[in-house]
C-alpha cells in the first residue's frame, strides 16, 4: 500500500500544522501522477485546513 502523506495547516493559525497519512490504492507512479487530485479530494471535507505539501511513499500504513 502506498502512503500519501499530507502536511495540513490550520487556516486560522498557519503555524499549527500536522501530518496525516492517507492510504493510496495504486502504485508509486500512480500516486506521483494522481496524488495531487487525491489530496484535493481529501481536502474538500476539511475546509478549516489548508494543504501545504504532499508526498507519496511506499511505506506501509499501520491500522489504528
Do the Cβ atoms of 4 and 39 come closer than 8 Å?
yes
Q: Does 1 have pLDDT greater than 90?
A: no
What is the pLDDT confidence band of residue 58, given thresholds at 50, 70 and 90? Answer: confident
pTM above 0.75, yes or no: yes
| pLDDT one-digit tens code per residue, 43-56 | 999 999 999 999 99
Is residue 40 classed as helix, strand or coil in its secondary structure? Answer: helix
Q: Does 64 have pLDDT greater than 70?
A: no
Mean pLDDT for the chain overall:
90
In percent, the amount of the chain with pLDDT more than 70 equals 91
Q: How far apart are CA 29 and CA 19, in angstroms?
A: 22
Question: How much is the pLDDT for 62?
Answer: 57
Amino acid at each position: 500500500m502506498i502512503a500519501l502523506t499530507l502536511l495540513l495547516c490550520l487556516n486560522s493559525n498557519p503555524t499549527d500544522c500536522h501530518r496525516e497519512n492517507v492510504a493510496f490504492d495504486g502504485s508509486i507512479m500512480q500516486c506521483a501522477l494522481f496524488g495531487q487530485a487525491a489530496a484535493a479530494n481529501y481536502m474538500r471535507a476539511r475546509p478549516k485546513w489548508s494543504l501545504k505539501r504532499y508526498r507519496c511513499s511506499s511505506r506501509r500504513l499501520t491500522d489504528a
